[in-house]
Amino acid sequence: MKKHNFNAGPSILPREVIEQTAQAVLDFNGSGLSILEISHRAKDFQPVVDEAVALFKELLNIPEGYSVLFLGGGASLEFCMVPYNFLEKKAAYLNTGVWAKKAMKEAKGFGEVVEVASSAEATYTYIPKDYTVPADVDYFHITTNNTIYGTELKEDLDVNVPMIADMSSDIFSRPIDVSKYICIYGGAQKNLAPAGVTFVIVKNEALGKVSRYIPTMLNYQTHIDGGSMFNTPPVLPIYTALQTLRWIKAQGGVKEMERRAIEKADMLYAEIDRNKMFVGTAAKEDRSRMNICFVMAPEYKELEADFMKFATERGMVGIKGHRSVGGFRASCYNAMPKESVQALIDCMKEFEAMH
């Protein structure tokens, strides 16, 4: 049976990206060696990193003066690297979910942290809008897509301080104005590559402004100077990331990714709103295109396990909602075909017809 992979992360990758990775595991570039058994300093591997960096810059239209890094540690390590490198006195954070809160917690160890707004009281079902960012902060930190709650900032905000964003789960799903940010980071395992590599886009001139000692491995400058090769980088996930970046470019770039994301999300939200058995959990204006969260309508609450079974039998994978929200979450990342979204919609329609 065809599986429709709605996993939240690690998650779906384009089929050809997986095939190219499999091929490189067997024989990298016709070298007779697997990519798993070559040095990251091999002359064949440097072009992989170079091209991945170049495609990052090209696809996201990154201005001059920014570096692209491939590191280990996940987005979770960035929660502490960000304040280590950028927080001298005071930083502002927008609390839009568990990831945002974790980022904020780390920052508190480095300086004064202002939580400008929070939607915690409403289980993060919306993104706060009425707040002011103090003018004297070193940066304003946002989480552009809240993977667990299915809310998303689908446009770059306008604030008069430099922004830093966790874009783990919506990078490459829309064009971004990188010049508004001094740092953008994320774990690659949602929309780019398998787990193991973290991407960081950093504005060079924003570094070197904090007075503390920064441990070598946690200092972005180390990795800029070392071209992401200060220590052994995650070779295989970087290789896969390159294949995904090539795929995005061949499909038409981030503008096309955005068009598809809107199309898929509109289809699924339309069914959630139409179908009497389901309700969406996120505020309509903040609905994520990447993680679409819904629950059974109150009068059908007891049918939740039945729908899960019904959908699973029809090939749906990974639609269980995060344990803190419950219900269902269909993650529709770049690689998710429209046909799979349609298959889920068909399940919802059939299930409704049965009741």
Please say if 166 is a catalytic residue.
yes
Which member of 95, 168, 228, 288 binds ligand PLP (CB under 6 A)? Answer: 168
Which range, of 133-141, 161-169, 210-218, 275-283, touches ligand PLP by CB under 6 A? 161-169
Beta carbon of residue 349, minimum distance to ligand PLP (angstroms, whole number): 30
Rounded distance, CA 5 to CA 13, Å? 9
Which range, of 55-63, 73-81, 209-217, 264-272, touches ligand PLP by CB under 6 A? 73-81
Which range, of 71-79, 81-89, 230-238, 294-302, touches ligand PLP by CB under 6 A? 71-79
Which member of 14, 83, 150, 187 binds ligand PLP (CB under 6 A)? Answer: 187
Rounded distance, CA 224 to CA 317, Å? 39
Whether the CB-CB separation of 206 and 65 falls below 8 Å is answered with: no
Pairing type for strands 151-152 and 145-146 reads: antiparallel
Binding of residue 74 to ligand PLP (CB under 6 A): yes
Beta carbon of residue 291, minimum distance to ligand PLP (angstroms, whole number): 8
The residues that bridge with 316 in the sheet, in sequence order, are 4
Which range, of 162-170, 222-230, 233-241, 322-330, touches ligand PLP by CB under 6 A? 162-170
For ligand PLP, which is the closer residue by CB, 98 or 229?
Answer: 98
Which member of 95, 169, 240, 244 binds ligand PLP (CB under 6 A)? Answer: 169
Beta carbon of residue 259, minimum distance to ligand PLP (angstroms, whole number): 23
Residue type for position 243: Q
Ordered DSSP codes for 43-56: TTTHHHHHHHHHHH
SS3 90: strand
Which member of 85, 125, 143, 331 binds ligand PLP (CB under 6 A)? Answer: 143
Binding track over 13-52 against ligand PLP, x by CB under 6 A: ----------------------------------------
Binding of residue 286 to ligand PLP (CB under 6 A): no
Number of residues that bind ligand PLP (CB under 6 A): 12
Which member of 35, 71, 75, 81 binds ligand PLP (CB under 6 A)? Answer: 75
Instruction: Count CB neighbours of 284 within 10 A.
Output: 9
Tokens 């046909």 correspond to 339
- Provide the residue count of the chain: 355
Which range, of 45-53, 164-172, 243-251, 327-335, touches ligand PLP by CB under 6 A? 164-172
| Cα R_g (the chain), whole angstroms | 21
Binding of residue 166 to ligand PLP (CB under 6 A): yes
Whether the CB-CB separation of 210 and 85 falls below 8 Å is answered with: yes
The residues that bridge with 293 in the sheet, in sequence order, are 329
Binding of residue 240 to ligand PLP (CB under 6 A): no
Give which of 261, 263, 110 is closest to 171, Cα–Cα. 261
- Which residue in 190, 203, 264, 320 is the catalytic one? 190
Two structure tokens written together for 223: 């990795």
Whether the CB-CB separation of 10 and 195 falls below 8 Å is answered with: yes
Beta carbon of residue 185, minimum distance to ligand PLP (angstroms, whole number): 9
Which member of 66, 84, 86, 99 binds ligand PLP (CB under 6 A)? Answer: 99
| Residue 350, C-beta contacts closer than 8 angstroms, at least 6 positions apart | 310
Pairing type for strands 112-118 and 90-95 reads: parallel
For ligand PLP, which is the closer residue by CB, 336 or 347?
Answer: 336
| C-alpha distances in Å from residue 297, one per residue of 126, 279, 281, 301 | 19, 6, 10, 6
CB-hemisphere CA count at 13 Å for 71? 26
Residues forming the site for ligand PLP (CB under 6 A):
9, 74-76, 99, 143, 147, 166, 168-169, 187, 190
**Catalytic site positions:** 99, 166, 190
